[in-house]
Amino acid sequence: MNLIIESLNFSYKNEKVLKDLDFNFDSGVLNLISGNSGSGKTTFLNLLAGLEKPSSGSIILDDIILSGDNQFIEPEKREIGFVFQDFSLFPHLNARQNIEFAGKGNNDLFNKLINKLSISEHLSKYPHELSGGQQQRVSIGRAIYSEPKILLIDEPISNQDKNNKIEIIEIVSEFIEQKDIICILVSHDEIDIKGKIETRSYVLS
């Protein structure tokens, strides 16, 4: 799969946030987005997810226009998994229910995810009963369990220690390759996955 960004612009209250962005993202690759605070990294992910509409430009997935001058596909129809910076777990659902919320009933994938993410013992807990790191793992599990075409991850390792950071990225990378997912990951932290998956880096300025 291929995601093409052409001449993408976004303004907020007459202030230009993103200007003339052009990217070409392939599946099976870890696409890393970095940039200074305020450079529009989270806004860029929101545009890809359809949570914001661009001022101009196009977002095209395999010849299907997700956002364009005369077309806009709603977020729920984009087949996107999103790991939000604040996790955005449903407070009234336990960990299992959060993960299963948008899933397609793939039990093998569910079991693999909860074991890989080390959250099998926390499935009956509600978000307020989980640590920040555990909430983050549940959020990652929910996004991947939805079997998306595009996986967007906003600051995925900010609540993990060094060893857990490496483990989380390796887990995500494994599923990216297996499921042929387009993954775009925003992070302030330096990421070293020791060549386990092809990595491409981009900077927003």
pLDDT in tens, 148-184: 999 999 976 665 676 777 788 889 999 999 999 999 9
Q: Give whole-number Cα distances, 188 to 18, 157, 158, in Å.
A: 18, 9, 8
Total domain count, the chain: 1
Q: What is the pTM of this model?
A: 0.93
Q: Is 181 exposed, middle or buried (0-12, 13-18, 19+ CB in 10 A)?
A: buried
Are the beta carbons of 187 and 41 closer than 8 angstroms?
no
The CATH number of whichever domain residue 138 belongs to comes to: 3.40.50.300
Is residue 204 helix, strand or coil? Answer: strand
For the cut 70, the answer to whether the pLDDT of residue 193 exceeds it is no
Range of the domain at 61: 2-204
Q: How far is CA 197 from the centre of its chain?
A: 17
Task: Say what the pLDDT of residue 160 is.
Answer: 64
Q: By C-alpha distance, which of 179, 182, 180, 176 is closest to 197?
A: 176
Are the beta carbons of 101 and 120 closer than 8 angstroms?
no
Over residues 189-199, the mean pLDDT reads 70
Strands (E), the chain: 2-12, 15-26, 30-35, 56-61, 64-68, 71-72, 80-83, 150-154, 182-186, 199-204
Task: Say what the pLDDT of residue 163 is.
Answer: 74
For the cut 80, the answer to whether the pLDDT of residue 190 exceeds it is no
Task: Say what the pLDDT of residue 158 is.
Answer: 60
Q: By C-alpha distance, which of 49, 48, 137, 45 is closest to 99?
A: 137
Q: Give whole-number Cα distances, 196 to 112, 153, 191, in Å.
A: 19, 18, 12
Diameter of the chain by CA atoms? 49
Are the beta carbons of 17 and 41 closer than 8 angstroms?
no
